């Protein structure tokens, strides 16, 4: 508190102090995005967050189950929404409350979720949020993202997009396109998923970030949804409501499944073509191709929606399975290359497949020469 020398100022201050103490016993119900019922002032700010209660803080943020005494400057620097909420000049129905000289802002966020974002604002990367060596569990990332969206904390949202963009890439990265790639947590994965059904939650999160132009991780997240059952897609396994795929995205998944299954015989068609037009004159290789095609038909390999899947392993396995009737190395390589080229095309086409704009991979597609 500023000390003033004039006696009059002291008297005025004392008078104000007395008046304020009186008021504090009654007032401090405050505006914010969601008003709550009034409670006794002294208890309203309990429990206080052990770290985020700064002695020199000038704004108290009272969330659900936790309060914080922080600095308006920090909130305003990173969040346009806090900037607006704390703007003294903004006309508002109820003025901001005051407690011990601090503005009081009541919000309806869960205290623990809000604490996560405030920690990131204060200590940046030291908590590990910007350190990819420290993977984040997806449910946790989702909570942080929702708070960051609500308060428009752009650098946190960008980090979420980057982390999920690694798990659901928008460039052709064979090792990261495998169905279920994201659920088998590896040490270098920036996000950890506990079960395969979380892909649909990733889609919903992408829509929460931007409904009309969602971030690019939505495309592969949708692709991962294709293998799921309808009741998983529509009712994923967590308690929060509103986290199932929207009807529109559900329809997208169904139409995309249909379209990809139709493409499958083209993507893997080179092996069928080789039945009619053998690529080499090696007898063992020719009978190898026959067995391969027969085997793939029986296993539904030509009517599979998962066309981005590599067939390298399948082709090599064939050689092991039938050592006498195996593909020659040359043909094996030709098949792998041909299927790979088709997979890249399917990948570049995912924007059309899902009917969502701004698919980054589509932009790098080579232009047909004139
Ligand atoms: Zn051959």
Q: Cα(303) to centroid of ligand 1, in Å?
A: 25
For the beta carbon of residue 353, count every other beta carbon within 10 angstroms: 21
pLDDT band at 232 (very low <50, low <70, confident <90, very high): confident
Upper half-sphere CA count for residue 282 (Cβ side, 13 Å): 15
Looking at residue 90, what is its pLDDT? 81
Looking at residue 242, what is its pLDDT? 65
The CA distance from 226 to 322, in Å, is 33
Query: Quick one: tokens of 341?
Result: 């080229």
Q: Cα(315) to centroid of ligand 1, in Å?
A: 12
Q: Cα(334) to centroid of ligand 1, in Å?
A: 9
Reply yes or no on whether the pLDDT at 370 is more than 70. Answer: no
Q: Cα(156) to centroid of ligand 1, in Å?
A: 53
| CA 187 distance to own-chain centroid | 19
The CA distance from 3 to 258, in Å, is 75
Q: What is the pLDDT of residues 235-261, one digit of tens each?
A: 655 555 667 889 999 999 999 999 999
Angle (deg, nearest 10), helices 329-348 and 283-298: 40
The CA distance from 54 to 68, in Å, is 8
pLDDT > 90: what percent of the chain? 61
Average pLDDT, the chain: 84
What is the Cα Rg of the chain in Å?
29
Q: Cα(340) to centroid of ligand 1, in Å?
A: 18
Phi–psi pair at 182, nearest 5 degrees = -80, -15
Full-model pTM:
0.82
Q: Cα(286) to centroid of ligand 1, in Å?
A: 7
Segment 293-299 shows an average pLDDT of: 95
The CA distance from 85 to 314, in Å, is 59
Segment 195-217 shows an average pLDDT of: 93
The CA distance from 356 to 256, in Å, is 11
Looking at residue 350, what is its pLDDT? 96
Q: Report yes or no: 101 and 37 within 8 Å, Cβ to Cβ.
A: no
What is the DSSP secondary structure assignment for residue 282, as one 8-state letter? -
Q: What is the pLDDT of residues 54-88, one digit of tens each?
A: 999 999 999 999 999 999 999 999 999 999 999 88
Segment 86-95 shows an average pLDDT of: 81
Q: Report yes or no: 115 and 143 within 8 Å, Cβ to Cβ.
A: no
Q: Cα(335) to centroid of ligand 1, in Å?
A: 10
CA distances from 368 to 360, 365 (A): 18, 9
Q: Cα(316) to centroid of ligand 1, in Å?
A: 13
Segment 298-323 shows an average pLDDT of: 90
Reply yes or no on whether the pLDDT at 160 is more than 90. Answer: yes
Instruction: Please return the burial class of 26, using the count of CB atoms within 10 Å of its CB with bins 0-12, 13-18 and 19+.
Output: exposed
Q: What is the pLDDT of residues 164-202, one digit of tens each?
A: 999 999 999 887 887 777 777 788 889 999 887 889 999
Looking at residue 366, what is its pLDDT? 56
Q: Cα(117) to centroid of ligand 1, in Å?
A: 59
Tokens 């997208």, located at residue: 252
Residues 6+ apart with CB under 8 A from 39: none
Segment 102-121 shows an average pLDDT of: 93
The CA distance from 347 to 309, in Å, is 11
Reply yes or no on whether the pLDDT at 106 is more than 60. Answer: yes
Reply yes or no on whether the pLDDT at 12 is more than 50. Answer: no
Query: Quick one: tokens of 132?
Result: 């990819």
Looking at residue 367, what is its pLDDT? 60
Q: Report yes or no: 146 and 207 within 8 Å, Cβ to Cβ.
A: no
Looking at residue 30, what is its pLDDT? 42
Higher pLDDT: 159 or 123? It is 159
For the beta carbon of residue 185, count every other beta carbon within 10 angstroms: 14
Q: Cα(332) to centroid of ligand 1, in Å?
A: 7
Looking at residue 174, what is its pLDDT? 81
């Amino acid at each position: 508190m500023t000390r003033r020398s004039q006696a009059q100022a002291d008297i005025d201050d004392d008078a104000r102090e007395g008046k304020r103490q009186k008021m504090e016993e009654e007032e401090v119900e405050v505006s914010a995005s969601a008003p709550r019922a009034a409670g006794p002032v002294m208890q309203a700010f309990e429990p206080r967050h052990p770290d985020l209660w700064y002695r020199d803080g000038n704004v108290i943020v009272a969330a659900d189950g936790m309060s914080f005494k922080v600095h308006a400057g920090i909130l305003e620097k990173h969040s346009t929404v806090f900037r607006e909420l704390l703007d003294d000049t903004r006309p508002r129905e109820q003025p901001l409350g005051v407690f011990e000289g601090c503005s009081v802002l009541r919000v309806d966020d869960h205290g623990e979720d809000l604490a996560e974002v405030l920690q990131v604002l204060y200590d940046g990367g030291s908590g590990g949020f910007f350190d990819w060596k420290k993977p984040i569990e997806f449910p946790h990332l989702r909570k942080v993202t929702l708070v960051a969206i609500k308060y428009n904390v752009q650098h946190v949202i960008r980090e979420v997009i980057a982390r999920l963009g690694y798990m659901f890439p928008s460039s052709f990265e064979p090792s990261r396109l495998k169905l279920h790639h994201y659920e088998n947590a590896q040490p270098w994965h920036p996000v950890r998923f506990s079960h395969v059904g979380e892909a649909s939650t990733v889609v919903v999160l992408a829509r929460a970030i931007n409904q009309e132009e969602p971030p690019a991780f939505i495309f592969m997240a949708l692709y991962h949804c294709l293998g799921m059952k309808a009741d998983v897609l529509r009712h994923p396994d967590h308690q929060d409501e509103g986290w199932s795929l929207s009807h529109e995205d559900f329809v997208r998944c169904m139409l995309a499944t249909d379209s990809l299954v139709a493409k499958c015989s083209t993507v893997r068609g080179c092996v069928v073509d080789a039945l009619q037009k053998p690529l080499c004159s090696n007898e063992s290789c020719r009978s190898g191709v026959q067995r391969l095609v027969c085997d793939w038909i029986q296993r539904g390999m030509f009517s599979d929606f998962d066309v981005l899947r590599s067939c390298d392993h399948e082709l090599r396995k064939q050689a092991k399975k039938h050592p006498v009737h195996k593909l020659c190395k040359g043909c094996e390589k030709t098949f792998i290359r041909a299927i790979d080229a088709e997979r890249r095309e399917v990948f570049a086409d995912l924007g059309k497949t899902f009917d969502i704009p701004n698919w980054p991979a589509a932009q790098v597609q080579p232009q047909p020469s004139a």
